Chain A
Amino acid sequence: MADGFRVDGNRVILSGSLDADTVPGIYSQVIKAFPADTQIVHEVDVSSVDFYDSAGLAMVSGLSDKYRVVGAGPEMTKELDSFAGKKKSAVLQVPPRPGFFESVGRMTASGAAGIRGILNFTGESVFHCTDALLHFGSLSRREFMRVFEASAADAVPVVALISFLLGLILAFQSAIPLGMFGAEIYVANLIGISIIRELGTLVAAIVMAGRTSSSFAAEIGTMMVNEEISALKTMGINPVRYLVVPRILASAAALPMLSVFADLCGVAGGSFVVISLGYSFRSYCMHAVSFVGASDFLGSLFKAAVFGVIVAAVGCFRGFQTGFGADAVGRSVTSAVVSAIVAVAFADGIFAVVFFCLGI
């Protein structure tokens, strides 16, 4: 039997110190000795307790729900009665949680507000971007170059690596079926057209969505939390003009360059496989570019510029939507990356249809 715990008939006598270290052992023994579902009312005698802390008091309070507590000193009685009284009378406030219809209404309203927000943001961005292009001198060159460097130059290693491996894997996988027809050299054609027309741009755009869109959302989101955006507004500076325009224009300029870089690395990756099959580098290059027309290349550059605008705009928009609290910026960043990738994939689908209709 542990110290501080003694059973005497239908009575448990607690003694010594009831603190955070002794309470767990004593409590489990009391519960074991006197299961609460019996008919007899058991007593817990605390008259020999010399010391108790909050854990001890919590235990006596917990026991008083199941057993009769006797022998408590005036101070303990006062504390127990005060807490029991308050707990009984406390109208436990339940934070207002909306019901089903209210939730549906709120979701509809917030959906509509979201669409209105997107339209407002798009309108404002288009207006200010056009204005900045017409009056290029008014654009903050420093901010433009900073964003351009961060989204283009700093992304080169990761874009190079991914597109190189993509070209290599694509060539390797297609070499096997094409080899069955003795057409291994056409791997070069396949690599050329698929990388230059489609995949190079897409890889660069997805990397940019992961790196740049998230960083825009985090930067602007943190500014929202710190009330820096409010400070800009009260100074009469339009936050879209000041923050969004340089980011959109820099990204629109950066992504076509990254896309060309991705094309080169992807084609280089494919060349390793084709050369290892016994073909010369020269014939690989000839085949790789033979299927690719100027319209394919220029079309991919145009797509890249549009993707750059989409990725930057989505990142900034999500940043402006940042709410309050520790996790608000994190949520904005996550939704920026997801929305940017979805928007890029969606836009790519539209481009595929439009290019097909135009015969490009």
Chain B
Amino acid sequence: MEHSSSVLRVENLSVGYDGKVILRNLNFSVGTGEIVVLLGSSGCGKSTLLRHLIGLLPPLSGRILFGDRVFADAQNPGSEEERDNVLRRIGVMFQSGALFGAMTLLENVLLPIREFTDLPHDLAVICAEMKLDSVGLLEYAHYFPSEISGGMQKRAAIARAIALDPKILFLDEPSAGLDPVTSDALDRLILSIRGKYGTSVVMVSHELASIFSIADRAIFLDKKTGGILDEGSPESLRDRSVHPEVAAFFNRGNSQKGR
């Protein structure tokens, strides 16, 4: 897949918290409409990196750019307003879905539309209904999150994340806790959103099936060196990577499949 321009660019980024550096000097970019998956063993810093990319943690060094806008810079923190402007252009789905329990699905999706646009109420509702329709939950618009299944909650969380037509979507382990059929449906939904809106996706995942079916590129993070160990399409990493950790990661999946 050809990716003309980069939506997200990470330059010399060091990530960590409480004075502890977990990953250092990372450099990578994500193109328009590209789906990139962050891989690595447990505790290697994938989720921490994701938290930096969505602005929940400040970078220890280096910077993060969305398009040509600087989102986070360790040297020059920049204004809150500028940061908020960027945050409106990105969508995030947390592992648990993080839907607001006291609101219906429609109200959950309406929240960012109401907060960040001047759309009149009737149009905002139509907009939210369209988003729920695109994840197949229009019929459940008036349900509360506690009244629907885990897979539906994740789809609703995606609907909320794409409410403002973000250029890039961050997904933290979208398949975690889902059965293979639901997980497959979620993968297809992510692909359809990319197809429809041209959204780039950065996701953390351990699900090999999901990685192979949707990811254009995988970035394998290394716990020992605290950097990027290998990078490329999932197939090329599986077949041609010279690093034993990468081979072990993908071959474990093969042995499982062979059973």
Chain A: residues with CB nearer than 8 A to chain B?
A: 20, 23-24, 27-28, 53-55, 57-59, 61-62, 83, 86-87, 90-95, 324-327
Contacts and interface: CB of A to CB of B under 8 A. Distances in A.
Contacts of A62: 122-123, 126
Interface stretch (B131-139, B207-215, B232-240): B131-139
Given A54-B131, A87-B129, A24 B117 contact: yes
Contacts of A86: 133, 138
Interface in B181-206: none
Contacts of B127: 54-55, 57-58
Given A58-B124, A93-B143, 4 more contacts: A58-B130, A83-B129, A90-B139, A324-B146
A95 B142 contact: yes
Nearest to A94: B142
B101 A53 contact: no
A31 to B, nearest CB: 9
B65 interface: no
A27 B101 CA distance: 32
A54 B130 contact: yes
B55 to A, nearest CB: 21
A27 B144 CA distance: 31
Contacts of B164: 20, 54
B140 interface: yes
B231 interface: no
Interface of B: 101-102, 116-120, 122-124, 126-127, 129-131, 133, 138-144, 146-147, 163-165
A143 B139 CA distance: 51
Contacts of B118: 24
Contacts of B126: 58, 61-62
Contacts of B133: 83, 86-87
B135 to A, nearest CB: 12
22 contacts: A20-B116, A20-B164, A24-B118, A53-B165, A54-B127, A57-B127, A57-B130, A58-B130, A61-B126, A61-B130, A83-B133, A87-B129, A87-B133, A87-B138, A90-B138, A91-B139, A92-B139, A92-B141, A93-B139, A93-B142, A326-B102, A327-B101
B72 to A, nearest CB: 24
Contacts of A23: 117, 119, 123
Contacts of B124: 58
Contacts of B129: 83, 87
A326 B123 contact: no
